[in-house]
Amino acid sequence: MAPLILNSLEKRFANAAPAVRDLSLTVRQGRFLALLGPSGCGKTTVLRMIAGFEQPTDGSILLGERLLADAATMLPPERRNMAMVFQSYALWPHMTVAENVGYPLKVRGVVREKARQKVREALSAVRLEAYADRRPAALSGGQRQRVALARCLVTEPDVVLLDEPLANLDRHLRQEMEETFREFHARSGATMIYVTHDQSEAMALATDVAVMSEGRLLQVAPPEEIYARPEGRVVGGLVGQGSILSVRSNPGASRRLEWLHLREAILGCDRSQPQVDVLVRPQDVVLDAAGIEAEVTSAFFEGERYALRLQIAGGQSLRAFSRHPLRQGEIVRVVLQSGWRL
Ligand code: ADP
Ligand code: MG
């Protein structure tokens, strides 16, 4: 099946720095890619170029061998066999749920009995069979989102594009909808591209995470890989709740740093070594009498544990967890079990 290929993609709007720069990415058929990055980094612009609502200033977009867009070519959205799910759902208020879902089939002239069957299947895929005759106004936010998904499912798109679809929903509903997206992906077999600024959402949903910053693609990898081996400060700072320490260490050493090496690097004994950035995750910071001294600068109860901020040698700040209450100003000792050189 056809992969979606972005080739040195570039988008410049008038009088502004490029919104997307030299972005190359291949998404194999059936993958679920999360496009992750802070607000304003160019995620929506990438999605709109894939969908056919914006034309690239440079570079190209292909589905397999088929050229969809470049600076001279622009296949219209309806000829790309893609579906875009908007944050606002874009449902017709005067139509029932079944009519909304069946609308794309009606436009395509699919015969009635066949269309009915497909609508039934799509509604069952998002568990809304019982709501077929309701109007959108009589549904919750999550249910409306599922109608929008069902409407996209009936057209059997090659690629489904979602732009922060859960941003308007509360946390509980978001978790429920994440489940719906995973099921939807498994059922449809479509390639999915899911834009979000929420790293935990990206990690929980996607088979691959692509991290963007300031129009550029920084790293693409499965969630576990992005988490364990982030490339550079921006990616390291975006995934997990790690602290980034600036320490003195031999850049030729292994990127995974053990406690004894980290201890030396933090205490900065060897001035001849260059400064490097090391990511330390809070769960790897353990209270231990054999550790280095740290002052608790803040502590608050999260429900299952206390989230701490510690200040260590050189004034650097470190996040940690504790099962026991600790007070601000208290002096403790911590071992950093592991770090990752960025
Ligand atoms: P994100 O979705 O990651 O928040 P966007 O793709 O919406 O980012 O925006 C990236 C940059 O491109 C921003 O600086 C934004 O202001 C700019 N931009 C987006 N769309 C337009 C447009 N139609 N005209 C001019 N600038 C735009
Ligand atoms: Mg956006």
* Each residue's pLDDT tens digit, 125-164: 888 999 999 999 999 888 888 898 889 888 888 999 999 8
DSSP state of 274: P
What ligand has the least distance to the C-alpha of 16?
1
9 and 156 assigned to the same domain: yes
280 & 312 share domain = yes
For ligand 1, atom 19, the nearest C-alpha belongs to 45
Residues of the chain with pLDDT under 50: none
Residues 111 and 257 in one domain: no
Residue 270 is part of which domain span?
241-341
Do the domain assignments include residue 198? Answer: yes
pLDDT of 88: 67
- Within 6 A (CB) of ligand 1 lie 13, 16, 19, 37, 39-45
235 domain residue, yes or no: no
Gap from CA of 16 to ligand 1 centroid (Å): 10
Domain tally, the chain: 2
Q: How much is the pLDDT for 22?
A: 97
62 and 175 fall within a common domain: yes
Q: Are 179 and 322 found together in one domain?
A: no
For ligand 1, atom 20, the nearest C-alpha belongs to 45
Closest to 298 in 3D by CA, of 320, 315, 277, 272: 320
Of 229, 253, 268, which closes a domain? Answer: 229
State the pLDDT at residue 252.
77
236 domain residue, yes or no: no
| Residue 179 and residue 108 in one domain | yes
- Mutation test of ligand 1: which of 13, 55, 195 has the most ligand atoms closer than 8 Å to its C-beta? 13
CA 195 to ligand 1: nearest atom: 2
Angle, helix 141-153 to helix 97-107, in steps of 10 degrees: 20
What is the 10 CA–ligand 2 centroid distance (Å)? 16
Which run of H or of E encompasses 24?
Answer: strand 20-27
pTM given for the model: 0.88
Domain-located, residue 253: yes
Instruction: Pick the atom of ligand 1 nearest to 45's CA.
Output: 6
Nearest CA to ligand 1 atom 17: 19
Atom of ligand 1 lying closest to residue 163 CA: 2
Tell me what pLDDT residue 71 has.
96
Strands (E), 37-92: 58-63, 66-70, 82-85
Which residue blocks in the chain are alpha helix, DSSP H?
A: 43-51, 97-107, 112-125, 141-153, 171-188, 199-205, 223-228, 232-238, 259-267
